[in-house]
Chain A
Amino acid sequence: MGASLVTIDNVDMRYGGADGTLAVSGLNMVVERGEFAAVVGPSGCGKSTLMKLVTGLHIPQQGLVTVAGIHVTKPVSIVGMAFQNPTMLPWRTTLDNVLLPLEIVERHRRRLRKHKKEYVEKAEHLLETVGLKGFGSKYPWQLSGGMQQRANLCRALIHEPELLMLDEPFGALDAFTREELWQVIRDLHASQDVTIVLVTHDLREAVFLADNVHVMSARPGKILKVHKIGFARPRDLSVMYEAEFNDVVQGLRGEIADARAVA
């Protein structure tokens, strides 16, 4: 295994007992440490299921999931997670929302009270990186959808996870905000020692951000193909207007269309 942070080995996951929905079957995937992996595939193919398998929210009936060399049998706390709808708690300020993981993750919660100031500074710094400087004292419902999603990213990052799992985090945002956040994520990945797995429906997003794009089949999902994306980093948004970029996106689109047709 060596440098692999995540391995999924021949995994089957069925929801709701023996004759429930078989969400993924024969799933294999490897994510190297420091890699940016994107997962694309038809709707309902088991992408969110894959995320929950890696984070240990679901335990597969068959096969093996390991994170950092350890067999996943319960939630893994080296992971940060963000979903499509920002799950901010409305009774907490944005800053307190960002600090929430520290109150939970075992190795931080003991230090939190004594080192509160240091953590608050860190949270404020994170908010600044995503362009939310000064919004820490606002409540989530005082922020726009895009701002909430930025805060959501900060919350996923505050405990310095080795692995960041993003499940369609930009789905509900407008095109401009989305492009802005792509750059935020890109810079985070470049500047921090973090491995990212991103589920998305947006193929341009996947190709722009990822080192490897994993294409899934229709349900029951498995990885059909892994595309290595060779564009040099750091990537600029203008890379998306190159012919080569569009060829890759077109190729992916075709594969997913095929995967849907098979179903």
Chain B
Amino acid sequence: MSASNTTPAPTALPVTPAKKFDWLPLMPWIYTIGLFLIWELGVRLSGVSHTIMPAPSRIFEAIIQYWGAIQRHSIQTLYTTSVGFLMAVVGGLALGLLIGWSRMIYAGLYPLMVGFNAIPKVAVVPILVIWFGIGTVPAILTAFLIAFFPIVVNVATGLATIEPETEDVLRALGAKKMDIMLKVGIPRSMPYFFGSLKIAITLAFVGSVISETVAANSGLGYMMSAAQSQFNVPLVWAGLIMLAVEGIAMYALMAWIEKRTTGWAHRSQTMAG
């Protein structure tokens, strides 16, 4: 009885409508469609030749027209990128842990790694071609080489920034280096690691496409350079669109994995703030 007395009838409060449509999840689609619309209109109104800047409708036409080839090359690129990326994940994690483990290894390898990372990977492709011939292997290795570094650096950073107090508490209990790594170092570096995957997958696409453009006979990079030499500009753009789609999909996958595995890091930050 008393509850019904104190609580005003909900119908008396029209201030908050029962259901408000949530536009937020739709915003990416709205903006994407908007971009294509503006692009389409811009090209049509200005009358730019489609050999310079094809309208989206022309590009989608090309996608449908060449779908068989585009599909094959897209799968090839996705394959080389993913394999290179997975190698970078395994290698980067291993080397990152090794570097974070020992100051000696860190001191020795760090300058080498910085120098190695400074080399433009496109310059490595010819060497890879000499070793492995043109095709899939150089594309995989270029993706691997370029995606490797951010993973190593991030994992090593996670390990190197363990709070000294935490380490002291564990060492005072008789913890060995291995214990500290397993209990603190590795869990602690996981947010850094998963965060780096988003950067690494984007870079892996850069690597595989570079290599395919220079030295391959399949993959989107190859398809685009071949289309370009035949002045098939809409097909070049179709390749770009496919790359963007694959890139977004893989990035979203990495972001999802990151969120699933290391939610505590995000929550603890927002809570601390």
Contacts and interface: CB of A to CB of B under 8 A. Distances in A.
Interface of A: 52, 55-57, 75-77, 79, 81-83, 85, 87, 89-91, 100-101, 103-106, 139-142, 155, 159, 165
A159 B187 contact: no
Nearest to B187: A91
A139 B270 CA distance: 13
Interface stretch (B96-104, B126-134, B163-171, B227-235): B163-171
B183 A104 contact: yes
Interface in B152-194: 163, 165-166, 168-175, 179, 183-184, 187-188, 190
B271 to A, nearest CB: 4
A193 B163 CA distance: 31
Contacts of A77: 172-174
Given A89-B187, A90-B265, A142 B170 contact: no
A139 B264 contact: yes
Interface in B246-273: 262, 264-265, 267-268, 271-272
B187 A104 contact: no
Nearest to A84: B165
Contacts of B187: 89, 91
Nearest to A103: B183
Contacts of B163: 87
Nearest to A54: B172
Contacts of B179: 103-104
Contacts, number: 73
Contacts of B171: 57, 75
A159 B175 CA distance: 14
B251 to A, nearest CB: 24
Question: Ordered nearest first, which 9 A-B pairs have the shortest CB separation?
Answer: A141-B268, A77-B174, A90-B268, A55-B172, A87-B166, A141-B271, A104-B173, A91-B264, A104-B175
Q: How large is the interface on B (under 10, 10 to 19, 20 to 34, 35 or more residues)?
A: 20 to 34
B265 A79 contact: no
A79 B174 CA distance: 10
A68 to B, nearest CB: 14
A91 B267 CA distance: 10
A164 B110 CA distance: 41
Contacts of A55: 168, 172
Interface of B: 163, 165-166, 168-175, 179, 183-184, 187-188, 190, 262, 264-265, 267-268, 271-272
A104 B174 contact: yes
Given A90-B265, A141-B267, 11 more contacts: A52-B168, A75-B174, A75-B175, A79-B173, A83-B168, A83-B169, A100-B183, A104-B183, A105-B174, A141-B268, A141-B271
A56 B165 contact: no
B168 A101 contact: no
Contact of B165 (A83, A90, A91): A83
A75 B264 contact: no
A79 to B, nearest CB: 6
A159 B265 CA distance: 28
B184 A75 contact: no
Contacts of B173: 75, 77, 79, 81, 101, 104-105, 159
Contacts of B262: 91
Contact of B184 (A52, A81, A89, A141): A89
A79 B172 contact: yes
Nearest to A77: B174
A47 to B, nearest CB: 14
A91 B173 CA distance: 20
Contacts of B268: 90, 139-141
16 contacts: A55-B168, A76-B174, A79-B173, A83-B168, A83-B169, A85-B165, A89-B187, A89-B188, A90-B264, A91-B262, A100-B170, A101-B173, A105-B173, A105-B174, A139-B264, A139-B268
A141 B172 contact: no
Which one of B163, B171, B187 has the greatest number of beta carbons of chain A within 10 Å? Answer: B171
A94 to B, nearest CB: 13
A149 B134 CA distance: 61
A81 B172 CA distance: 7
A81 B174 contact: no
A242 B264 CA distance: 48
Contact of A104 (B165, B168, B170): B170
A209 B184 CA distance: 33
A136 B19 CA distance: 37
B125 to A, nearest CB: 41
Contact of A81 (B169, B183, B265): B169
B170 to A, nearest CB: 6
A87 B169 contact: yes
A76 B272 CA distance: 34
A55 B175 CA distance: 13
B272 A141 contact: yes
